[in-house]
Amino acid sequence: MQVKKGIIHLLLFLVSILLINCNKLNKKDDQSVQEPKNMTSKIGYDLSKENALYHMPVDLMELSGMTYWKEETILCVNDEKGKIYGFNLEQDGLVFLHSFDKDGDYEGIAHKEENIYVIRSDGKLYSFDMQFNKVKKYDLPFTDENDIEGLCFHPDSNSLFIALKGDSNVKGEKKKKYHAIYEWSLKSKNLQEHKPVIKIKDKELKQFVDYKGNFMPSGIAMHPYTHDIYIISHRAKLLIVYDPKFNLKEVIRLDKKLLKQPESITFMPNADLLIGSEGDHKQPAVILRFKYLKDQL
């Protein structure tokens, strides 16, 4: 009788050890499928922690667009003022200010050489010559309903890429069921074929990352090395990347604690990534710098 009890106890002990080991293996498997928090080695940036942080002055509380200029200086626009602000990263402050028009809803800025381009949310495009201090205006085929939010220079096509937060149709066309990036030729001064170069569809994005709501662009920039197109969304808190042929390459979550309202994006010449986040009455707008980790690709 005692022998039987001993055998039973031994069997129970062995079963318990087996269950414990199985549980440990399951935990390891669960951990292996969990996505590393914001570690984006596929494109060469770790967005879980910035490498540098720059606080914007009060005049740039509503930092709506930015682009790298030269000599560590970033050109910025405030979405309420017709002014171009030069913010120097080394000096951590404004180094110049240029007025180009009256107050308005200015949402994007880009440049080709000495020519600076600023776009208003309704499609009015301004060309500002820094050398001669002259301003030209262009009426693009957009309206307030398009709600333009981003602008960047695309050297391969000698054009400006325009990101639409609102309706994706141009004047006179039916509304589209996606968000669009259009191309405006700097040579012909026309919208290329009135067709988007990129169609942002939530169904495609959700194959990479599950999220609520829809992706509405708030900033756009081109990577200086790979020529990938980077687009951010304040509403979806996502960064999406398209390759030079405009195929969707990556979708990455943005940390809400780091970037409460990401509205602008640009790159340094060494490919460090800059993302700007608007401020509020509690805290100033900021620019976060993320080092390009090329050696980890």
pLDDT digits (tens, 9 = 90+) for 153-201: 999 999 999 999 999 888 767 777 899 999 999 999 999 877 899 999 9
- Distance (Å, whole) CA 223 – CA 193: 25
pLDDT exceeds 70 at position 17: no
Contact 264, 64 (CB under 8 A): yes
**Helix ranges restricted to H, the chain:** 2-33, 202-205
Class (C level, CATH) for 42-296? mainly beta
Strands (E), 193-293: 198-200, 219-222, 229-233, 238-242, 248-253, 262-267, 273-277, 286-290
Q: Residue written as tokens 């060494």?
A: 270
Instruction: For the chain, give every domain's residue range.
Output: 1-29, 42-296
Q: Identify each DSSP E strand in 165-237 by its residue range.
A: 179-185, 198-200, 219-222, 229-233
Confidence of residue 294 (pLDDT cuts 50, 70, 90): confident
pLDDT in tens, 242-252: 999 999 999 99
Q: What percent of the chain has pLDDT over 90?
A: 74
Q: pLDDT tens across 19-75, in order? A: 444 444 443 333 333 344 445 558 999 999 999 999 999 999 999 999 999 999 999
HSE-CB of 63 using CA atoms within 13 angstroms: 37
Model confidence, pTM? 0.85
